[in-house]
């Protein structure tokens, strides 16, 4: 691993964040990282509009942001607040010109948003029927190839038996109707995407806490049929029964993960890379943002990882970006990844309140 960093000047001087922190990041040879935008507090999920606007949800800020790079130089010149006063609006999904935003028990939509960035429309209610708990209440959103909106409902706890209303992934029509359960036994997924070719939905899932530093692992899972159960709260990481809820159960009864991502790495946003800028070995790979552990004796995560696949078989699991944490002190926490049309990839960081752009040039 070699350190290759591209620091992009904004005006006469670099923002303090880039000047003091970005040079700590390490990437494989030929890869570069630059600041795309700062002033995006608590930046979480990202979505890209039809005109290239990058939308970013947030947590503590209660706001949704629109980032615009009008001249195509790889830097967003303007950061707008397009919605505020929402409860944990971390999830954003763009569909047919409209931006859907999660807000715990509610999903709202901003109609025709790219034509109204300077005077955003009032959010319209899509549904208010989701659970009200804020523990794992923030929701990653995405529209599937079927035109349905996919919404996770996390377990309202560290460990409990939350079925049938929690611990699952559902889908609905864009108007908020037609709810269907997609999969269950999911503690809290904060990232999912559809694999090019197979069309299968893959997702990250956060393992439970308070079983020690090294178990259970976070999971990377593949849904191959509607209605599959992925184990929570009975079986963790495909092979470890829960000391309380696993009694009388067998891990063989649940779908095991395709890959164990590591204990407490807090795997969040993930996307398949289908661009052409990165080397050919990255085509079809999964890029995962690992937010980082909160109570592990030695920190884990705080990185962006690449999972290379052949079909649904894992070929490798290797770092794309490290350095957000040194000597047990973290300055950044990756939250989501978002490929752009030019083949570069954005990374959101909710601790630094920034979005970075990763490019490849040998």
In a domain, residue 9? The reply is no
In a domain, residue 287? The reply is yes
Give Cα 124 to chain centroid, integer Å: 24
Q: Are 307 and 326 in contact (CB under 8 A)?
A: no
* Tens-place pLDDT, residues 78-128: 999 999 999 999 999 999 999 999 999 999 999 999 999 999 999 999 999
In a domain, residue 249? The reply is yes
Core vs surface per residue 20-32: b (16+ CB within 10 A) or e:
ebbeebbbbeebb
Give Cα 17 to chain centroid, integer Å: 22
In a domain, residue 128? The reply is yes
- Give pTM, 2 decimals: 0.94
- E-state strands within 10-83: 31-37, 43-48, 54-58, 64-68, 78-83
Q: Are 102 and 91 in contact (CB under 8 A)?
A: yes
d(CA 351, CA 244): 34
d(CA 232, CA 161): 8
Provide the number of structural domains found in the chain. 1
In a domain, residue 21? The reply is no
Quote the percentage of the chain above a pLDDT of 90. Answer: 93
Q: Is the pLDDT of residue 9 over 50?
A: no
Per the structure, the complete domain to which residue 167 belongs is given by 28-360
Q: Are 35 and 15 in contact (CB under 8 A)?
A: yes
* Tens-place pLDDT, residues 145-203: 999 999 999 999 999 999 999 999 999 999 999 999 999 999 999 999 999 999 999 99
Q: Is the pLDDT of residue 243 over 70?
A: yes
Q: Give the chain's length.
A: 362
CATH code for the domain of 309:
2.120.10.30
In a domain, residue 169? The reply is yes
In a domain, residue 232? The reply is yes
């Amino acid at each position: 691993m070699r350190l290759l960093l591209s620091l992009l000047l904004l005006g006469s001087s670099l923002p303090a964040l880039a000047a003091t922190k970005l040079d700590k990041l390490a990437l494989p040879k030929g890869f570069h990282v630059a600041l795309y935008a700062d002033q995006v507090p608590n930046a979480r999920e990202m979505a890209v509009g039809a005109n290239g606007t990058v939308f970013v949800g947030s947590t503590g800020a209660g706001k949704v942001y629109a980032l615009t790079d009008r001249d195509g130089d790889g830097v967003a010149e303007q950061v707008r607040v397009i919605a505020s006063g929402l409860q944990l609006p971390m999830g954003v999904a763009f569909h047919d010109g409209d931006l859907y935003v999660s807000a715990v028990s509610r999903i709202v939509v901003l109609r025709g948003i790219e034509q109204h960035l300077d005077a955003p429309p009032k959010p319209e209610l899509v549904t208010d029927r989701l659970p009200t708990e804020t523990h794992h209440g923030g929701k990653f959103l995405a529209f599937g190839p079927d035109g349905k909106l996919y919404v996770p409902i996390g377990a309202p706890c560290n460990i409990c038996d939350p079925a049938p209303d929690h611990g699952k992934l559902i889908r609905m029509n864009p108007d908020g109707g037609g709810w269907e359960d997609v999969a269950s036994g999911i503690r809290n997924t904060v990232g999912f995407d559809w694999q090019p070719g197979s069309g299968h939905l893959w997702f990250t899932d956060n393992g439970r806490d308070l079983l020690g530093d090294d178990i259970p692992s976070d999971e990377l899972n593949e849904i191959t049929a509607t209605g599959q159960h992925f184990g929570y709260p009975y079986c963790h990481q495909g092979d470890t029964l829960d000391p309380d809820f696993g009694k009388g159960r067998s891990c063989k009864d649940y779908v095991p993960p395709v890959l164990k991502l590591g204990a407490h790495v807090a795997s969040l946003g993930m996307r398949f890379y289908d661009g052409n800028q990165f080397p050919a070995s990255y085509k079809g790979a999964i890029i995962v943002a690992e937010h980082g552990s909160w109570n592990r004796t030695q920190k884990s995560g705080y990185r962006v990882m690449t999972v290379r696949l052949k079909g649904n078989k894992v070929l490798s699991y290797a770092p794309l970006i490290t350095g957000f944490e040194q000597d047990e002190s973290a300055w950044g926490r990756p939250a989501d990844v978002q490929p752009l049309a030019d083949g570069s990839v954005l990374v959101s960081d909710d601790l630094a309140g920034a979005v970075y752009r990763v490019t490849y040039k040998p």
